[in-house]
Amino acid sequence: MKILITGAKGLVGRALVEHCSASGDEVFKYDHHALDIADARAVESEINAQRPDAVINCAAWTDVDGCETNPEKAEQVNSLGPENLARASSNVNAVLITISTDYVFDGEKEGFYTQRDQPRPISVYGRFKLEGERRAQAAHARTIVVRTGYIFGPGGKNFLSNVVSKAQRGEKLKAIRDYWGTPTYGHDLAIRLRELAIVDLPGIYHVVSSGDGASFETFSVEALRLAGLSSDLLEVIDGDSLGRPAPRPRNSRMKCLLSEKIGLQPLPHWQDGLAHFINHG
């Protein structure tokens, strides 16, 4: 397959480039510097030049608090970006996968969010990610939206990806106890993204690692246990005590109604992904 990957130096982008290359695909990888997804002309020109079978969009402005204070940039990247990619993918009849987020939900539900639940974003980031889903779907029928959340893996800048390395450096870890999601290993997500490109069935998929979910605290405790490190460095806090600009959903655990129906196996458990991440980097 010829696969064009945007955001190739991000957490998911790296894992996907590695997996597709190892699978024998012809990979056209673009980091932010090489292709700005907010630049419609550049997006069209690159996709026309490469004529890929699949475009997988791993690019996004993922700074949730930054989006809250700079909605114009959030809209350009997270809403218009996917639309630009969808238009250009439509021109060459490539399947488009664009990654979205659990933050399209408000977090008020008790259980797991499925595709039957109505999105109701409570942050600017969530609002424009949802708009990005819808713009991409409206511009190109062969669009697959993959909602995921609480991702961890090599190269990640987020809290979950850095629990062990911070503890190894003796840094204190402020672990939030009252916000819950479904931790998802970037490597396993990458495998599923490629499978979905091959399956080529448009729609919205919730792709997360298996398990009942975790709070930042339960994830951190497990990470330190697997790494053989003491949990003395953990300071357990309430999320609201951080006074962050953007509200987050308290519960954004997700499940997929579609994947198993089309013959895809559940992803491995997040604890297995975490053990793999800790042991293999």
Ligand X SMILES: NC(=O)c1ccc[n+]([C@@H]2O[C@H](COP(=O)([O-])OP(=O)(O)OC[C@H]3O[C@@H](n4cnc5c(N)ncnc54)[C@H](OP(=O)(O)O)[C@@H]3O)[C@@H](O)[C@H]2O)c1
> What tokens were used for 73?
């940039």
Binding part of the chain for ligand X, among 40-48, 151-159, 163-171, 204-212 by CB under 6 A, reads 151-159
> Which residues fall within 8 angstroms of residue 129, CB to CB, at 6 or more apart?
60, 78, 79, 100, 101, 103, 104, 121
> What tokens were used for 71?
């909605």
Whole-number minimum distance, CB 58 to ligand X, in Å? Answer: 5
**Per rule CB under 6 A, count of chain residues that contact ligand X:** 29
- Residue from 5, 47, 55, 60 touching ligand X (CB under 6 A): that is 60
Whole-number minimum distance, CB 232 to ligand X, in Å? Answer: 26
Q: Which of residues 97-136 bind ligand X (CB under 6 A)?
A: 99, 101-102, 129
- Residue from 105, 113, 150, 270 touching ligand X (CB under 6 A): that is 150
Half-sphere exposure of 39 (CA within 13 A, CB side): 12
> Which residues fall within 8 angstroms of residue 251, CB to CB, at 6 or more apart?
107, 108, 109, 110, 179, 180, 181
58 binds ligand X (CB under 6 A): yes
Q: Between 99 and 256, name the residue whose CB sits nearer to ligand X.
A: 99
Q: For the beta carbon of residue 161, count every other beta carbon within 10 angstroms.
A: 19
Q: Between 14 and 142, name the residue whose CB sits nearer to ligand X.
A: 14
- Residue from 17, 43, 59, 223 touching ligand X (CB under 6 A): that is 59
151 binds ligand X (CB under 6 A): yes
Q: From 51, 56, 64, 143, select the one nearest 102 (Cα to Cα).
A: 64
- For residue 76, the 8-state DSSP code is I
77 binds ligand X (CB under 6 A): yes
62 binds ligand X (CB under 6 A): yes
> Which residues fall within 8 angstroms of residue 274, CB to CB, at 6 or more apart?
152, 183, 185, 219, 222, 223, 226
180 binds ligand X (CB under 6 A): no
Whole-number minimum distance, CB 97 to ligand X, in Å? Answer: 10
9 binds ligand X (CB under 6 A): yes
CA distances from 19 to 13, 77, 156, 187, 278 (A): 10, 25, 16, 8, 18
Whole-number minimum distance, CB 252 to ligand X, in Å? Answer: 9
> What tokens were used for 267?
């992803």
Helix (H, G, I), strand (E, B) or coil at 35: coil
Q: Between 156 and 227, name the residue whose CB sits nearer to ligand X.
A: 156
- Over the window 182 to 221, marking each residue x when it contacts ligand X by CB under 6 A and - when it does not, the resulting string is ----------------------------------------
Binding part of the chain for ligand X, among 94-102, 106-114, 235-243, 260-268 by CB under 6 A, reads 94-102
Helix (H, G, I), strand (E, B) or coil at 58: coil
Cα 155 → chain centroid: 14
Residues with catalytic annotation? 125
Residues lying near ligand X in the complex (CB under 6 A) are found at 6-7, 9-13, 32, 35-38, 58-62, 77, 81, 99, 101-102, 129, 148-151, 157-158
